[in-house]
Chains A and B, each alone.
Chain A
Amino acid sequence: MSIITKLALAAGLVTALSSGALAQDLTGKVIGFSQIGSESGWRAAETSVTKLQAEERGIDLKFADAQQKQENQIKAIRGFIAQGVDAILIAPVVATGWDDVLTEAKEAEIPVILLDRGIDAPEDLYLTSVASDQVLEGRVAGEWLVNEVAGEECNVVELQGTVGSSPAINRKQGFEEGIASAANITITQSQTGDFTRSKGKEVMEAFLKSSNGGADICAVYAHNDDMAVGAIQAIKDAGLKPGEDILVVSIDAVPDIFTAIAAGEANATVELTPNMAGPAFDALAAYWANGTEPEKFIITESKLYTAADDPAGEYERRKGLGY
């Protein structure tokens, strides 16, 4: 599938994502974007959405793929500074080691915006950072479950992300906060599925075995949609109906989970938007227009999607984005 077709397919989503505020025209601005790489579908979607957002505003986007290496990112940023770009977006691969290169950017008076991850550096070295609130994502999922079971006893099994990763830690914490008020909901088992489908399926199989064939499980909460998709297959293999016998809630809102929601096999997902660039461009527009300093941390929306939110349509809108 060529980039052009992807762009065409994705046009609908861009409209949806940028709904509300009208995108300001930034024609003639040159902005450098140092992306981590393309290690996941979400990352690929973030790249294509960023390009679409730039195109919509008439921005000349200089894109650099760092292939997971900080040295490549630093090289790219120095290159952007040398070219005299108007602003720089960075999706930082690691949290430390940015002080020198950001100081160089500051001395060159080029504003820097961080996308989707934070760093350990003085706050005055960057204009703002745009990221989702991972704890909030977990909380939204938890609160959905509290409403859904409406007071009934519910044992939840949890499929964690990679042990020690910040989304795994934060989404676990958020979910626990979300269900804290409901004494009827308990997490009975929790294991890591490494954010992958096959591990999600394998772990869910084991949970089903150790929970009386699944009869003791009321819901599964997965830290990402891929693990949920794997878990759905395991539930089906065990002769149960996912979505009915066992509720399925997860995070990310990748296209495939909408197929499952449309088929009634998954119940809810919380969106981690790939559109980090849109809010960043908006902040830049305001900054350049009248010098408005944006807030230091811009939090993207963590939107909940269920069967009521046109899952088939959401699938169509997302499938071309590179997830």
Chain B
Amino acid sequence: MMRRILTRLANPQLLALVGVLLVNWLLFPNFFRITWQDGRLFGSLIDVLNRGAPVAILAIGMVGVIATKGVDLSVGAVMAMAGAVAATMVVAGYPAPVAVAAALAVGLVCGLWNGFLVAVLDIQPIVATLVLMVAGRGIAQLITEGFIVTFTDPLLIFIGTGSFLGLPMAAVIALVLMILVTLLVRRTAIGLFIEAVGVNRAAASLAGIRSRMLLFLVYGLSGLCAAVAGLIVAGDIRGADANNAGLWLELDAILAVVIGGTSLLGGRFSVPLAVVGALIIQAMNTGILVSGFPPEFNLIVKAALIFLVLIIQSPLASRIVPVRTSAREARS
């Protein structure tokens, strides 16, 4: 039993995460120091969890989409829209729970729209979601009229910066979403159906799987997750920044999913490993920030590390060193 757990932990994603964290520790000896301050945990490791949460949440939604052989480029723009809706509504005097619900509804509707384009109109996902990627940010800018809409609503601020049992709220939300979505896909047949549709949509249809419903589900979930992430980043800066909220984060989310071992060609996927992928990316970002490298090196360092992680995961590497390589074996 113990051995089985150990072998499951010995997958390249977790090894890469540990590796990045160790490098951070070498560059910055206090990296693992965590203190208790003002009723919350405080330290670089906590920053990784907190800052990694938005991309992790996007990845939780994105992984299902990618598993169906799709991709959702609109999540960054949906984040901006959700933040803009929530912020303008509380500023206009609506109760915060209503604003939050409205933001989540906007995310869901955006996701279902993407699902409609992909499932019903049969538009290629990359093109279908590009529509909202471009238009969504414009809509967000219209909602905020180009301002950064700042607010003082305690609920919204709590979502972005609060803490629960000492952990940052964002990380708690990400963890809860990860568990819920994992249960949703693995305790039901949905995960299997998603993989079946991703591997072979024609065969799935002949085997009696309603792939349209599934596509609506995964894109809707992706939109919803994007809205949650949008609320978090808005709450974090106490304002909705339509120009910058979620900008390029769709690419980080896709990268997190890929690092998590899910192929862009669809098929096998793992929600927890996608979250680990997001943490790897954030651990790199935080490491670069605390290490004191000049910012000109940020992108190069990041690219080199990602390259390394992908090499470790490549089929070639797994032939040389037999570690478990993909989401395929990582499931029960």
Contact = CB atoms under 8 A, between A and B. Distances in A.
Q: Does a CB–CB distance below 8 Å link A and B in the complex? A: yes
Contacts of A40: 243
B148 interface: yes
A69 interface: no
Given A203-B289, A238-B42, A192 B298 contact: yes
Nearest to B299: A163
A226 B79 CA distance: 19
Most chain B Cβ neighbours within 10 Å, of A209, A239, A322: A209
A39 B289 contact: no
B147 interface: yes
B146 A197 contact: no
Contacts of A38: 141, 146
Contact of B47 (A198, A205, A233): A205
A198 B37 CA distance: 22
Given A163-B296, A230-B237, A323 B147 contact: yes
A237 B296 contact: no
Interface string A44-85: 100000000000000000000000000000000000000000
Main secondary structure of the interface of B (DSSP, over half): mixed
Chain A contact patch, size range: 35 or more
B38 A41 contact: no
Contact of B147 (A41, A190, A206, A238): A41
A192 B161 CA distance: 22
B30 A39 contact: no
Interface in A185-222: 189-192, 194-198, 201-203, 205-207, 209-210, 213
A256 interface: yes
Contact of A39 (B147, B243, B299): B243
Chain B contact patch, size range: 35 or more
Contacts of B35: 213
Nearest to B145: A1
A280 to B, nearest CB: 23
A90 interface: no
Given A209-B290, A229-B237, A256-B148, A198 B295 contact: no
Contacts of A35: none
B292 A189 contact: yes
A263 B169 CA distance: 27
Nearest to B247: A196
B147 A322 contact: yes
Most chain A Cβ neighbours within 10 Å, of B145, B236, B237, B285: B237
B38 A239 contact: yes
Interface in B136-180: 141, 145-148, 150, 161
A237 B161 contact: yes
Contacts of A197: 148, 237, 239, 241, 244
B47 A41 contact: no
Contacts of A190: 294-295
A295 to B, nearest CB: 33
Given A190-B295, A197-B148, A198-B241, 10 more contacts: A41-B146, A196-B244, A196-B247, A198-B244, A201-B236, A206-B44, A209-B47, A226-B148, A239-B38, A256-B148
Interface of A: 1, 38-41, 44, 160, 163-164, 189-192, 194-198, 201-203, 205-207, 209-210, 213, 226, 229-230, 233, 237-239, 256, 322-323
7 contacts: A197-B239, A197-B244, A205-B47, A209-B290, A210-B292, A213-B35, A322-B146
Interface of B: 28, 30, 35, 37-38, 42-44, 47, 51, 141, 145-148, 150, 161, 233, 236-239, 241, 243-245, 247, 285-286, 289-290, 292, 294-296, 298-299
Q: Which 5 A-B pairs rank lowest in CB-CB distance, beginning with the nearest?
A: A206-B289, A192-B295, A197-B237, A196-B244, A44-B146
